[in-house]
Each structure stands twice: as C-alpha cells, then as structure tokens.
Structure 1
Amino acid sequence: MILNQAGTRRFRAYTSKHLDDLLLRAGLDDDQRLKVRAVATVLPFRTNAYVVDELIDWSAAPDDPMYRLVFPQEDMLPAADVARLADLLKAEAPNAEIQAEANRVRAQLNPHPAGQKELNVPRIGDEPVPGLQHKYPETVLIFPKQGQTCHAYCTYCFRWAQFVGDADLKFASDDVDQMVDYIRRHPEVTSVLITGGDAMIMGESVIRRYLGPLLELEQLESIRIGTKALAYWPQRFVTDPDADATLGLFEEVVRAGKNLAFMAHYSHPRELESPLVESAVRRILDSGATIRTQAPLIRSINDDPAVWSAMWRRQHAMGMIPYYMFVERDTGPQDYFAVPLARAYEIFRDAYASVSGLCRTVRGPSMSSTPGKVCVDGVTEIDGQRYFVLHLIQSRDPALVGRPFFAHYDPSAVWLTDLRPAFADRFPFEASTEDALLPV
C-alpha cells in the first residue's frame, strides 16, 4: 500500500477490473464470481482500500453487512438476465454486445425514480438549466459535473444511473453562473443542496468554485452537502493534502452567515468505529458546520432496530444529529433490498423507543417519492380494519405538508405506489378526475 508523508494511506480505488480478485477474498467459486461480474455490467461497482481493509470483515463475507453494502450480489437482478450476461462474459463476447444487453436490463430498473431527471427541471425563460433540480419551493439541488462519482458506491444507491457511463442517464453541470442566476431569479429559494455522486470527491479548489458564488446570495440561509465520505474516506477531512484548506473553506461559509450542514450517509454502526471518523467529525464540527445523518433501511444490511439505535446513539455522542431513515427507493435492485413498509415502521418504532429524546430528531421511515417525502407514522385499527397513517414531511405543494392521511394496510407494500387510499377516493397529492379535465 502506498503511503503519504504522514504515514497514512493514499486513496486507492477498486473498480470492476479488480472485482474478480477481490471476490476471491470472499471465498466465491468460479461460477459465483462470474455471476457477480455479470451483475456488475449493469450496476456500478467502485470501492477503495479503506473500505476493503478497514470496514469489511472478510471472515464473514459474503454475509458481512459491509461487504453486502459495496459488493454486487448475484441475485440482485433477475436470474435470466444474470445468466445471459454471464454467458456473454464467459464467451468473451464483444464489449458492445455485452453493453447492449446491460443497457437493456438497466432500462427495466427505473433509473430515474420520482422523475428525478424528467421532472423538476429548472428553466430560465425557455432554456433548461442542466445540473439543477427544483422539486420543493425553498430548496434547489446542485449536481456539480466534477462530483459525479463517490469514494465507493453503495449497492443500494438510487442514483446508480449516474455512474454507469451512459450520458443519457446523467444530469450534471459546471455552469456555476447559470446556476446562480437561476437562484437569484427565485427568491423563494433559501436552501441549496450540493449533491451527486458525492460533492466531497471534489478537491477544495473545485468545491470553492461552487460555494464561493453562493455566499454572495443573501437569500440563502443554508447550504447542504450530501456525502458518504465520512464513512468511506474520512481521510478527506484529516490527512488528504487539501483537508485543512477544505475545512478553512467551511469556516468561510459559516462566517458568511450561512448554516453549513453535512448530510452524512451512515448505513451501519461499523462505519462509525474508526478513530479517523472521530477525528473527521470533530474537525468538521470545529469549523462551525453541523452534521446530520441519514440512510435508507436496507434488507440484509441494517434491517434490525438494534443496528439503528446503536447508530443513532453513537452519532449523537459524536455530536451529529440523527435526521432520516429512508425507505429504499423504487429503482435498481429494489426487490433485493426493499423492506415492507409495515416492517420498516416496526424497525423505526422499536429503534426510536430505545434512544433518548436527543436522538429523536430522526424522522422516518420516509419515502422520497414523486409528490414528496411521505412518512409512515404508524398502523392503526378502525372498526376492525387496519390502516397505515402517513403524512408528507415535504411536498411539491407546501399546503399538504404535515396533514395526515390514510392508506389500506398491506403487509407486502414496499412503496407508495403499492398503497390504496382509505376514507377517500384518492390521496391528497393526487388530482381528481375533474381536476384532470380542467383546461390548463
């Protein structure tokens, strides 16, 4: 392993070309490795030396949760699709033929859930502004072109389509002036989320290109940065060559009067154990930024209330703020990872009940769906029938936020589209037939 002058490891990425050798460490046989490689032609694979050497318990692989968090599994995709791709790989078919088959499979996996590419497209006049999303009135998402990768990919990632090399599936931009112009034209925007990919894959000088102009916008109250770096490469804030400069930039944001919030993705307590993580968290907090934690509920990785309560308690002790438990989105290998909403609520409830009030800043289980963030508040019984109780934490229509509504109980439902409205002919966010017939 290459070391820098401080004696710490430099970043080393592992991609699909390293996959077969890494799978040997998990004890997979030839046929199993071939099937995993077949899945990796469809879903992106990338990890790094820190994850491989420090987070994964190879003696427990392939059942180790951290292994499952970053390594593809042969049953993530339909068996027939995996078999076709495996046959092509085994026959050493031309790459174009393999990619054509991989693209066919991808097209069936709902690569843009909640209309994340087709909807929410901001415009200046008739011109679309690429690399921005404006789903909620007060919040704009920025997707920097240079931030469209991560230190490692999660197997459950709902933005997997950003990482497979298909330009038609990506949305990103490096036109900072156009982004700033759009925000200025929309004074209702008070919060910006820089996301990707992972914004912290960018160096300090590139991050500054995006953050600097935002500090001149008086309307902005908060700047958020979505990142998994605190779990997958905490060195980014401790020993990387520009770690100090990056933290200095964070201090500038805070001095400019903006609330700088790290939206840190932690999926398992093991990601919090390293002394490097403790140091990175402390340094970020010392800059004046806050850290809020979130992750989806993932079958076979963290579908246990004890895992979540341990995470929330540890995060709170380190000075972070538990924020969201998400429901796995309706994209990619959702069938593999999804936890039914009824079980998701039970896991959240049991974990929530076992932590102190200061950890109960967390919300969930929440679905980031087309109409907004829908939270499952519980299951109730009325006249002998069971119902889900839900509300919108966030909505395209702010008037709907916080208003409870009901759905018929379905123990197998895993997403909003699986539910049927109760005590009404439609959900609050659904247009009526009469509305649909009105002229635009």
Structure 2
Amino acid sequence: MHTPQYINDINKVPGLTGRDLEQLAPVMDTFEFRSNEYYLSLVNWDDPDDPIRRIIIPSVQELDQWGRLDASNEQSYSVLPGLQHKYVSTAVFLASDACGGFCRYCFRKRLFIHPEQREVLTDLDAACDYVRNHPEINNVLITGGDGLMLSTSRLEKIISRLRGIDHVKIIRIGTKLLSYSPYRVLNDQELLEMVKKYSLPDKRIYFMTHYTHPREMTDVSLEACDRLIKAGGILCNQTPMLRGVNDDPQVLGELFNRLSYMGVAPYYIFICRPTVGNKPYAVPVEEAFNVYQNARSMCSGLGKRAKLAMSHASGKIEALAMTDENIIFRYHRAADPDESGKVHICTRNPRAYWFDDYKEIVETYEQQEG
C-alpha cells in the first residue's frame, strides 16, 4: 500500500515557483510548514485561489498583526501538562504534538512556534488517575496535534487504560488524517482491530474528522472512513469556516450533504478563532451565519446537524438566529455549568469576528425548559 512522504521544507513543494518561495520566506521565519505528497497532489497549482492550497500553503497575510496565540485561553483549563478539563463531563488529552499537515488556520500553532513550552501529555498514569478521581467525566478526547499521529500501540495503551475506568463511556480521537493522509488507516489493519476491540455497543470510539472542503473526500479517503465505520467507529466532522475555502453556501452545502451521504455526522462549524496568523482565514460572525444558513437550506435534516459555534474561553457559544437589529447567541456548553443554555441577545455588528466584539448585549436570560 502506498505511503506518502512527508514534506517539512516548503522549498521542496514542487508546485511553488521561485517567486512564491521568495514571498513566503518571511512567513517561514515565524510559522512552520508541513504537508505530504498525497495532500499536495489535491492542489490545482494553476489556480492561485485553490481552496486546498489555502488550507496547507502559507499566505503572506499570516504576518498581519491580529489575535492571540491562545485565543480560547486553553492554558487556564490545564490541570496537568497535556490534560485539559474545561467542561464538566469532558477531559482532553493533548496526547500528540505532531500533525499530518500544519493547517494554516491552526488554533494551537503555539505548540509548534514554542515547542520548548511543551503542553503534550507525558504522564499517562497521572492523567488516568485524574480522570478516575472525577466520576463526572464520561468522555475523553485524545487529540493534540493529531490523535492518529500516535502509533497504534500508543493509542491502544491510552484507550485500554481509559476502558478500565467505568465512568468513561465515550472515547474520541481528534484527527485530520482522513483528509491529509488516509493511508494512515488503509495501511494499518492493527488500528482497525483495535477499534473493533474497544468500540463497544454501549461505549463507542468516535473519530472527530476534519473535512474542510468537499475535494478532500477522495476515493481513498472514503475507503478509510468506511473501514473505520465497519470496525465499529463512529465518525463526526467539525471544521472552521474559512475565507476562500468553504465560505460559499454551495461549497458548504455540498460538504454537509456529502458528509451525510458517507455516514459522517456534521457536528460543528466553528467561527475561526482569533489566533495569531489567522486573519486571512477568518470570516466575520454575521457573514458566517448567513453562509451557514444558506448552506443548510440545501440539505436534509441529516445534512444540517452541524451547529455554528465559537470555542470561546468561557465555552462553546452557538449562533442561533439574526434579526435586522440583533444576533442571538446561546451557550451550547459553558465552562461554568450554571451558564450552559444561557441566551445573549446582542446588537448586530457586521465587523465582529468573535463574541468579545459584541459590546452591546440587549438582553440576557436563562433558556426556559420546554
């Protein structure tokens, strides 16, 4: 089976011209690059605005001064190095500090800019003890980096330990390798056997995929998804809305539909976090809401399950509705459980990229139980 070679030196990308490399040199002084032969083969190099190119190839606009390195203040929820506990029932293991490719819009690029400030999980015993001592935790997300960049033996070690904790029912693996390098699944029968072993009828393993554009859904990628599903894995997709990639209702609607056709649940569409380097990929909240709503109108109920949300420092804030004057948000999940479900009605601001940009809150109230 084919194994694509990784490329860490942008000068070795065959589709870039000398002028391209000259322009991108200052960007490479600040931000890292990584891709592989397979994913780069999806780029139409004759189109400077190709969406796959925008996902993986740097832009000089990444140097625009904007945002913070830890836009969602993740470090404040770190209870151990590499272990976050922000929401009552969920623990996050930053188990990997490697990715199959460096998304240009990455919200954890701090891990690669300052590798000496390691946030990766190194003490599995301490992490499992923490989860064991917190019975309110019923699901654990293994991510990073990319959860599938871990070897299958390392993944199984983590998963087997978690399966020994009775109150952990859901194990999630966050990955973009189904898009970046589906051969990670196709070449590894042991991975599929591991999924069969630990994804049980009453407590499943979920793969949180990261399809951002329909062109990432190649035949080999669909085959990898199919094998995980047949092994007992549950697949859900989340992606940010990105300028020049999926900020078109036709593109986003096709993404939703194709996910539903292949049995992958559309889960979240995220507002691009205001992270350093992300300005060229960000879409204002209200524009994103209109794109999202128009895309959903093209889908069945199964295709329109994704929620439009911001991973704010205080919680996941869902954009619910807009009127001519107001936009309505709800805490889909809050770091403070008492805030979950709370609704905020704000005066519209077409220049807002983040919840913090809404200065005027017209009304706040607790959501009433129906």
TM-score, normalization by structure 1: 0.80
Is residue 20 of structure 1 aligned with residue 11 of structure 2? yes
Is residue 326 of structure 1 aligned with residue 270 of structure 2? yes
Q: What's the secondary structure of 1:167's corresponding residue?
A: coil
- What is the Cα deviation at residue 9 of structure 1? 2.5
Q: What's the secondary structure of 2:266's corresponding residue?
A: strand
Distance, in Å, in 2 between the alignment partners of 1:255 and 1:221 is: 9
1:313 aligns to what?
257
Is residue 154 of structure 1 aligned with residue 154 of structure 2? no
What whole-Å deviation, never above 9, does each CA across 1:299-331 have from its counterpart, x for those lacking one?
A: 111110111110111111111111110000010
What whole-Å deviation, never above 9, does each CA across 1:65-113 have from its counterpart, x for those lacking one?
A: 10111010112213xxxxxxxxxxxxxxxxxxxxxxxxxx8xx751112
Q: Which amino acid aligns with 1:58?
A: W
Task: List alignment gaps of at least 5 residues for structure 1.
Answer: 1-7, 79-104, 123-128, 429-440
2:249·2:294 contact (CA, 8 Å) conserved in 1? yes
- What is the Cα deviation at residue 354 of structure 1? 1.0
2:56 aligns to what?
70
Residues 132-141 or 41-50, more deviating: 41-50
- What is the Cα deviation at residue 148 of structure 1? 0.8
2:78 aligns to what?
121
Paired residues for 1:310-389 under 5 Å: 310-364=254-308, 366-381=309-324, 386-389=325-328
- What is the Cα deviation at residue 408 of structure 1? 1.2
Q: Which amino acid aligns with 2:304?
A: R
Is residue 196 of structure 1 aligned with residue 144 of structure 2? yes
Could you say which structure has the greater relative contact order, defined with CA pairs below 8 angstroms and 6 or more residues apart?
2
Paired residues for 1:203-222 under 5 Å: 203-222=151-170
Is residue 416 of structure 1 aligned with residue 360 of structure 2? no
TM-score, normalization by structure 2: 0.95
- Cα distance change on mapping 1:247 and 1:390 into 2, 3 Å: same
What whole-Å deviation, never above 9, does each CA across 1:252-282 have from its counterpart, x for those lacking one?
A: 112384221111001100001x211121011
Q: Rg bigger for which structure? A: 1
Q: What's the secondary structure of 2:275's corresponding residue?
A: coil
- What is the Cα deviation at residue 399 of structure 1? 2.6
1:142·1:192 contact (CA, 8 Å) conserved in 2? yes
1:215·1:256 contact (CA, 8 Å) conserved in 2? no
Give the alignment's Cα RMSD to 1 decimal: 1.7
1:41 aligns to what?
29
1:215·1:258 contact (CA, 8 Å) conserved in 2? no
State the percentage of identical aligned residues. 29
2:193 aligns to what?
248
Is residue 59 of structure 1 aligned with residue 46 of structure 2? yes
1:85 aligns to what?
none
Distance, in Å, in 1 between the alignment partners of 2:233 and 2:150 is: 18
- What is the Cα deviation at residue 165 of structure 1? 4.8
Aligned residue pairs, count: 366
- What is the Cα deviation at residue 349 of structure 1? 0.3
Q: Which amino acid aligns with 1:409?
A: R
What whole-Å deviation, never above 9, does each CA across 1:368-399 have from its counterpart, x for those lacking one?
A: 00110111112124xxxx01111011101223
